[in-house]
Amino acid sequence: MHRTIITGTGSYIPSIIKKNDDFLPNRFFTETKEPIDRPQAEVVKKFQQITGIAERRYAAGQMTASDMAIEAARLAIADSGIDPETIDQLIVAHNYGDVLPGTNQVDAVPSLASRVKKGLGINNPNCIPYDLLFGCPGWLQGLIQADIFCRVGAARRCLIIGTETLSRVIDDSDRDSMIFSDGAGACILEISPADDGRGVLGTATRSDAIDGADYIYFGESNAPGSDEHLRFIKMKGRKVYEYAVKHVPAAMKDCLDKSGVTIQEVKKIFIHQANEKMDESIVRAFYALYGMTAPTHIMPMCIQWLGNSSVATVPTLYDLVRKSQMADHALQPGDVILFASVGAGMNINAVCYRY
């Protein structure tokens, strides 16, 4: 049985470092525009204790999401050693398109995928570029779609990118603004010429839009007297946390059970870098479904220094581990790994993969 394999990865980590202390001059307000009546230093300290985030990265200058996507894609293409003209599908996952500094206007026409195709200089008219909006799990959903296209013979080689500049759509008066960051990650997925057990073993996706569609949304600023016509990324943090801890472990189990491997074979879990405590709770709950305690060192994390870059977190983390840029984490041939993500929609997905 031939499967799809990831033959190359790449990531772009922006150059601007935004530390938690940089938020001390901010004044935070609640959704009802009431001031948060606690010292700012206390708010920032509590934020780091909950999320694990000490710093994050912002895109510099006029760099956009599509610019970062091009850089990550070039690295993935070079890593795979392929000719970019042989790419059949070019999928770009994002949420807000290209947002320039000084505005929060979403720009997604033409599609970011078309911009990336142009930026990479791909002439092949049969290379089909399109965008995917699926919240933070967008890159992983692109991987799932590409796997299907390849396995049914509709494509042989796909480029999947997750890219976002959330720093351009945050509300400085909202403490949740400290969560978000920028970045891009990419991979080449192609049908394997050899039946050696490597590749995508199973997938799972779920969506709960009836209750969860408004958990992450675009809303007006928390600041009193702000322009009611401007919109920023907003999140009902407690509801997102509860939803994720309740439903992500079950989706991960569904994925693993369909993959034909045991939980004892799982060597690493690459989970969306949204909140350190939340991710730890998800992994504990996942193992509890099998009556087990989560092993130590199973979950690499980069949220502490990269923050939450939405669709870019999982491919960036995977690229860093794959290229031995994460201390104490490595992958060996034959390792079974799980990818999992959750985000706006509310949407969840998971992929089981043999390295």
Q: What is the pLDDT, as a whole number, of residue 327?
A: 85
158-198 pLDDT tens trace: 999 999 999 999 999 999 999 999 999 999 999 998 788 89
Q: What is the pLDDT, as a whole number, of residue 37?
A: 86
What pTM, to 2 d.p., does this model score?
Answer: 0.96
Buried b (16+ CB within 10 A) or exposed e, 218-244: ebbbbbeeeeeeebbbbbbbeebbebb
| Angstrom distances, CA of residue 315 to CA of 130, 236, 250, 312, 348 | 18, 25, 22, 6, 16
At the second CATH level, the architecture of 4-191 is: 3-Layer(aba) Sandwich (3.40)
Fold held by 199-354: Peroxisomal Thiolase; Chain A, domain 1 (3.40.47)
Beta bridge partners of 354: 199, 336
Predicted confidence band of residue 273 (pLDDT cuts 50, 70, 90): very high
Q: Check pLDDT > 80 for residue 1.
A: no
Q: What is the pLDDT, as a whole number, of residue 2?
A: 83
| CATH 3.40.47.10 location in the chain | 4-191, 199-354
Q: How many CB atoms within 10 Å of residue 62?
A: 10
42-94 pLDDT tens trace: 999 999 999 999 999 999 999 999 999 999 999 999 999 999 999 999 999 99
